[in-house]
Amino acid sequence: MKTQLDFSAETAVVSALAALAQTSRLRVFRLLVGTGPSGLCPGQIAETLEIPANSLSFHLKELHHAGLIYQQREGRFLRYRADMPAMKELIDFMTAHCCNGEHCAGMPELDCAATTS
């Protein structure tokens, strides 16, 4: 039986993976995921990751365009946050056909509240 592909979802996934396939953008995204709902302003991101402001602006635009982060205006400032539902959708898409639909004993559930060691 042939599976019908959702090309709009595949296009979004390719865009997201392409955005993450660059070291600085991956570091920015991971930092924003780590900050959770509080997010960070560009100056905080630049200082933490030691990325020049002009480069950071480009990377934030690429991550935003790929739908992985969003921005919220707070007065004169912008605050960036990881789009956690988008991240989960990306992971779900990548693992949708894992183990042919059978329970995967070796695959952990995604738990954003869990701490890492």
Residue 109, in any domain of the structure: no
User: Over its length of 117 residues, how does the chain's per-residue pLDDT go in tens digits?
Assistant: 344 556 577 899 999 999 999 999 999 999 999 999 999 999 999 999 999 999 999 999 999 999 999 999 999 999 999 999 999 999 888 887 777 767 666 666 656 665 544
Residue 32, in any domain of the structure: yes
Residue 12, in any domain of the structure: no
Secondary structure element (H or E) that encloses residue 72, with its range? strand 69-74
Give the predicted TM-score (pTM) of the model. 0.81
Residue 106, in any domain of the structure: no
> What does R_g of the chain's alpha carbons equal in angstroms?
16
C-beta of residue 70 within 8 angstroms of C-beta of residue 64: yes
What is the distance between the alpha carbons of residues 24 and 44, in angstroms, rounded to a whole number? 15
Say how many domains are in the chain. 1
Residue 110, in any domain of the structure: no
Residue 64, in any domain of the structure: yes
Domain extent, residue 42, equals: 22-91
pLDDT for 3: 45
- DSSP 8-class letter at 19: H
For position 73, which CATH number holds? 1.10.10.10
H-type alpha helices, 21-52: 23-35, 42-49
What is the distance between the alpha carbons of residues 82 and 85, in angstroms, rounded to a whole number? 9
Name the residue among 36, 11, 16 with its Cα closest to residue 26. 16
pLDDT for 98: 76
What is the distance between the alpha carbons of residues 102 and 98, in angstroms, rounded to a whole number? 8
pLDDT for 2: 42
